Amino acid sequence: MIRRLCVIGVGLIGGSLALALRRAGHCGQIVGAGRHAATLERALALGVIDGYDLDLAQAVAGADMVVLAVPMGAMAEVMAAIRDHLASDAILTDVGSAKGAVVQTARAVFGALPPTLVPGHPVAGTENSGVEAAFPELFQGRRVILTPTEASSPAAIAAVRAMWEAAGAVVEEMDAHTHDQMLAATSHLPHVVAFALMHTLAQMDAQSEVLRYAAGGFRDFTRIASSDPVMWRDICLTNAPALLDTLDRFRADLDELTRAIAAGDGARLETVFREAKRTRDAFRH
């Protein structure tokens, strides 16, 4: 059980984790921290946290578990602010979507990877953001991927695993490189495509008319374009190598489809579509 949990960044993910752990009785006091007093006041009013501090050094004082739920671009600044104020046995984890960047940042900020650091990534979320969108069932039955470093202690790994399991998640472990490659394909690329499609439509003269005729499939496909732009900007930049490789593969497939359409090659289109359907149907089942 966590005695004092400090969540830095009380939004959808951080807030939902706090609510899930409170409901499970897995932690005592929950302290929030961040830049904006109004957000933290709202989290307090909603019962997500028990108190807060705008001073990160003060917020982590006495905490035995610290969760960084901030955009990837803020990780270095936050780590630097709390580095000298963490208890010696305080476990540090995060919810970032690019794990290689978290490990690299921690090594740079701390000088060496702390044995109490266990990077993590809950593969869960919605297109909504902010503490108002938080709910305790967010992680129920969803995967959380831990990417322990070579320095992570068994005790720290076990504590972070126990935390996520208490929140209802299914916990898996893998190395940071594998995580970043997989998430680039299954999460980061779809978000980039959805953002790009909506940006394309936004530039069309008849934008309002086009969207009037959008059906359910369009709404389902583009739902994730409502996600937090700052968060996704940072994810794209911090996982750039893996994402660029995936974008190159996707671009090549788009070029092939473009050539098939231009050539009137229905057989090739059907082959690609059948392969895609077979893959998607297998995933669904």
For the segment 248-269, what is each residue's pLDDT rounded down to a tens digit? Answer: 999 999 999 999 999 999 999 9
Q: What percent of the chain has pLDDT over 90?
A: 87
Average pLDDT, the chain: 94
- Does the pLDDT of residue 207 top 60, yes or no? no
How far are the Cα atoms of 7, 26, 32, 45, 247 from residue 68, in angstroms, in the given order?
6, 18, 10, 21, 28
Show Cβ contacts of residue 134 under 8 Å, excluding neighbours closer than 6 positions.
10, 11, 12, 13, 14, 15, 16, 18, 19, 46, 48
Burial of 104 (0-12, 13-18, 19+ CB in 10 A): middle
Q: What is the DSSP letter of 140?
A: T
| Local structure of 94: helix, strand or coil | strand
Q: What does pTM read for this prediction?
A: 0.88
| Local structure of 28: helix, strand or coil | strand
Alpha helices in 87-215 (DSSP H): 99-110, 154-166, 176-183, 189-202, 207-212
For the segment 209-230, what is each residue's pLDDT rounded down to a tens digit? Answer: 777 777 778 888 889 999 889 9
Q: What pLDDT score was predicted for residue 220? A: 86
Structural domains of the chain in order of their starting residue, each with its CATH number = 2-174 (3.40.50.720), 178-284 (1.10.3660.10)
For the segment 5-37, what is each residue's pLDDT rounded down to a tens digit? Answer: 999 999 999 999 999 999 999 999 999 999 999
d(CA 69, CA 39): 14
**DSSP H or E run through 143:** strand 143-146
Token pair of 48 as six digits:
């997500």
